[in-house]
Amino acid sequence: MSLVYPIFLFAFLPIFLALFALGGRIGGPRGALLVLVASSLLFTASQGLGFLIATTISLAINYALLMAIIRARIGGRWGRAMLAVGIVFNLALLVLAKYSVWLQWMPGIGPLSLGLSVAIPTTLSFLTFQRSVALLDAFTACKATALGLQSPPKGERPSRADPPLRYLGFASMFPNLMIGPIAYLTEILPQIARRSFGKLRAIDISIGLTLLIVGMFKKFFLADALGEDWVDPVYLDVARTGATTSARAAGALAAYYVQLYFDFSGYSDMAIGVARMIGVRLPMNFDSPLRATGIIDFYRRWHMTLTRVISRFLFSPLSIAGTRYAARWRLKGIAAKLPSLWLPLIINFTVIGLWHGPRLTFVVFGLIHGTWYVIETEFRSARWWKKKRKTIPEWRRKLAGAIIAIPLLVLTFALFRSPTLAVFVDILQSLGSTATVPQGAVLPFDKMSVIRLVLSFAIAGLAPNVYEMLGRYRPAIRSFVNPSTTPRWFAFKWRPNIIWAGLLFALAMLAMHEMATVTPFVYQVY
């Protein structure tokens, strides 16, 4: 089961909301939280027995380590060791289950990894990171975490059930269990520990439904159709014959650029919307990233929760260690920047690429983005540019940045989509091809497909994202604060009124019209 399955949308979700409200009325916050935990475990079980067993074992071990870290940190003992054990355990489970292709040659580990990958067909990536970050939260903010886990709602007696129940609510919450957004323990615990938790509010339902419908529209009406009409047939032809026409190759590259965004941001909108229905605000994951004016701006807007987690776990420690190394040996210039900035950035983005799965194309994707990030960082910090930029109007700088960034992003997105480097090279070579359409190939250039592609670029390039529209109602937690890129005449603001209800109803009808076949989210496959 997934958030896009009809059984989830029209059965699981309504029943859950009714039971959640009933649990809150009968048992208060604890009753509502118990319903959330039970529903999340049921949702987990729908992914398969292997996934349920693995995530349950992970839950038990992570909770035991979390409480050990809190006790050790408060008492001043062994906290760092427990943190290391927890992170190593989580990453080892993820690597064994996800990277069996690269581990099969290793005696003992290879068969174990292959067995886990067969038993756990669904990715563990997002929940692994979320539970690892929870351990780090417990280590760095142990007092606040302990209070969030153990303090009773106002006016109620303490209960031994509160810590495990609240942790289960955080670590297994079904909206963001599979594909994020990755939340921090310190972001969610205060929300599920408050006295009002368990009471459904009309405004939360309205905001949540808005996010859910917008996500459905992105996924069903835009992303899935773009993949079916423009992207998948071309990649299939190239994988089979090694070539396609230049027009079809260009169409596939352009379509995948918006397809990946609408697919992944559609899931994030739906996850944040479902959580908001029960009064929980998850962190925002996308902020109009396809309008980025450079790679730095892009990663402040794209998959923001992963960006901040990788930076916290990997880049910051590496950069600090590199800076100390450079200071110790009194390195200057390039010799100092290499260990303190350049190598940490390259490693950071290589890991981001590898995180998606055991493909060489993902590794190259990460290396390209890491190198690009280093180049742009150096360009922005150059003295001559700091002087020059003051003489250039801001709109010209942004336009020039977008003209450079967007084609590079389109090409690297195509690399991300390619199963092998050979397929990616064939796609690029096809851009200059004079070949005719392969026999039996489906042409994507029907009127509706073209309209949908143009509409997708118009929405991505001009329309406000749903978090801008809902801004005054704080629909999600902002990971980064970015300036708005929406033209003033398109800066629509959502209101809980009949006009917006009618518009959302129309979007819901368009989405449901496309629900005949349900395709998995792109990131759910990796």
Average of pLDDT values for 434-444? 55
Q: Are residues 85 and 215 in the same domain?
A: no
Beta bridge partners, 283, equal 477
Q: Are residues 187 and 267 in the same domain?
A: no
Q: Are residues 21 and 76 in the same domain?
A: yes
**pLDDT at 458 exceeding the cut of 90:** yes
Ramachandran bin of 180, using left for φ above 0, alpha for ψ from -120 to 50, beta for the remaining angles: left
CA 430: distance to chain centroid? Answer: 31
Least confident range from 355-359, 406-410, 422-426, 505-509: namely 355-359
Nearest CA-CA partner of 256 in 295, 221, 226, 298: 226
Q: Are residues 342 and 424 in the same domain?
A: yes
Question: What is the four-CA torsion angle of 281, 282, 288, 294, rounded to 10 degrees?
Answer: 130
Q: What tens digit of pLDDT does each residue of 378-431 get?
A: 999 999 998 888 889 999 999 999 999 999 999 999 999 999 999 999 999 999
**pLDDT at 437 exceeding the cut of 90:** no
Of residues 155 and 474, the one with the higher pLDDT is: 474
In whole angstroms, how far apart are CA 100 and each of 47, 205, 356, 361? 20, 42, 14, 17
Q: Are residues 114 and 240 in the same domain?
A: no
Number of folded domains in the chain? Answer: 2
Q: Are residues 211 and 193 in the same domain?
A: no
In a domain, 302, yes or no: yes
Q: Are residues 192 and 295 in the same domain?
A: no
Q: Are residues 184 and 291 in the same domain?
A: no
Under DSSP, is residue 283 helix (H, G, I), strand (E, B) or coil? Answer: strand
Q: What tens digit of pLDDT does each residue of 27-62 get?
A: 999 999 999 999 999 999 999 999 999 999 999 999
In a domain, 72, yes or no: yes
Q: What tens digit of pLDDT does each residue of 279-320 get?
A: 999 999 999 999 999 999 999 999 999 999 999 999 999 999
pTM (2 d.p.): 0.95
When the pLDDT of each residue in the chain is averaged and rounded to a whole number, the result is 91
In a domain, 1, yes or no: no
Q: The domain containing residue 125 runs over which residues?
A: 6-200
Q: Are residues 228 and 314 in the same domain?
A: yes
In a domain, 337, yes or no: yes
| pLDDT for the residue 522 | 79
In a domain, 526, yes or no: no
Q: Are residues 216 and 173 in the same domain?
A: no
- What pLDDT band is residue 504 in, cutting at 50, 70 and 90? very high
Least confident range from 10-19, 360-369, 474-483: namely 474-483
Q: Are residues 222 and 277 in the same domain?
A: yes
Beta bridge partners, 477, equal 283
Domain end marker among 200, 222, 242: 200
Domain end marker among 182, 200, 218: 200
| pLDDT for the residue 11 | 96
Q: What tens digit of pLDDT does each residue of 222-250 get?
A: 999 999 999 999 999 899 988 888 989 99
In a domain, 318, yes or no: yes
Least confident range from 73-82, 413-422, 432-441: namely 432-441
Do 253 and 414 touch, CB atoms closer than 8 A?
A: yes
Domain end marker among 200, 235, 259: 200
**pLDDT at 75 exceeding the cut of 70:** no
Q: What tens digit of pLDDT does each residue of 107-128 get?
A: 888 998 998 888 887 778 899 9
Q: Are residues 312 and 343 in the same domain?
A: yes
| pLDDT for the residue 500 | 95
In a domain, 67, yes or no: yes
Under DSSP, is residue 477 helix (H, G, I), strand (E, B) or coil? Answer: strand
**pLDDT at 442 exceeding the cut of 60:** no
In a domain, 278, yes or no: yes
Of residues 525 and 167, the one with the higher pLDDT is: 167
Close Cβ partners of 405 (under 8 Å, ≥ 6 residues apart): 292, 293, 294, 295, 297, 298
